Amino acid sequence: MPSPPVKVTIPTPDHDYLDLDYYDNESKKTVIISHGLEGNSERAYVLGMAKKFFNKGWNVVAWNYRGCNGKVNNTLKFYHSGFTEDLEIVIQYAKSHGVEIIALVGFSLGGNLTLKYLGQNDSVDPAVKCAVTFSVPLELHHGCLEITKPSNFIYAKRFLKSLKSKITAKAKKFTEISTHNLSEIHDLISFDDRYTAPIHGFKDALDYYKSSSSLYILEDIQKPALIVNAKNDPFLPPTCYPVEKIKDHPFVHLETPERGGHVGFCSVHKNEHYWSEDRAYAFVESMI
């Protein structure tokens, strides 16, 4: 691994903050890594990607979404799959170090967030040159339905346990949040319907999913972007493999390897790094 990162806290316009891990290579190139649902900047897949780019001479920013740093954040809002405003703040932080080239890498929820950002043409920073995303739930509602299937019970239970713990902690700080009958919520859709959607200004879970799903803005992306969704990903329904939708897209490329699971992509290389790290770096380097 590279040397330990500099731990950085940056303010947001609404008086909250974001915690980042900054790996400084004194480079003009920076990669920004966005983690998955209930992940953080120290997950193995984030650290592996950081190591790959750092060893190739890039600066690395691995950021934590609001509330994913082990603390209750300062505002009622926390994070969601379409909260691109915070990604823009991180991009501006990276630019403040004088970099000229920024690449984005996103995993799962972070992949959807990355693509959603790229689809907003009027707000994409010119320094952002390309993106690579893995295991992306492009259609959030269908993805949530997939996670609720019995075969994914263990994973759904783990996500819910973590989310419930966070909402309970936030309720102690914000009286607007009620945890009454929280134990009766047994799936992610119900959680999003009761908490994620209304807290972030959506009518309900379905409104949140429709507004935040990157599937519906792929045609608007005008930066090179790679989507890698393994065919054996247990969380992704057919709508997350939009082969026909983007077959003639000039910028968005879809790859569907046979194996890889959800943010897996293990490598057979002796040094135990992930295939996804090699693929991300190769794509980024080919596009800048």
pLDDT digits (tens, 9 = 90+) for 182-193: 999 999 999 999
Task: At 107, give phi and psi (nearest 5°).
Answer: -115, 130
Q: What is the pTM of this model?
A: 0.95
Residue 163 belongs to some domain of the structure:
no
**pLDDT at res. 265:** 65
Residue 60 belongs to some domain of the structure:
yes
Residue 156 belongs to some domain of the structure:
no
What CA–CA distance (Å, rounded) separates 108 from 17?
A: 23
Q: What is the mean pLDDT of residues 16-21?
A: 98
Number of domains in the chain: 1
The C-alpha angle with vertex 152 and arms to 149 and 155, in degrees rounded to 5, equals 135
- For residue 276, give both structure tokens: 């996804």
Q: What is the mean pLDDT of residues 95-115?
A: 97
Look at residue 82 and tell me whether its pLDDT is greater than 60: yes
Burial of 158 (0-12, 13-18, 19+ CB in 10 A): exposed
CATH number of residue 92's parent domain: 3.40.50.1820
Domain that holds residue 274: 6-139+215-287
Residue 134 belongs to some domain of the structure:
yes
pLDDT bucket at 1, cuts 50 / 70 / 90: low
pLDDT bucket at 194, cuts 50 / 70 / 90: very high
- Whether the CB-CB separation of 195 and 187 falls below 8 Å is answered with no
CA distances from 15 to 12, 21, 208, 271 (A): 6, 20, 24, 43
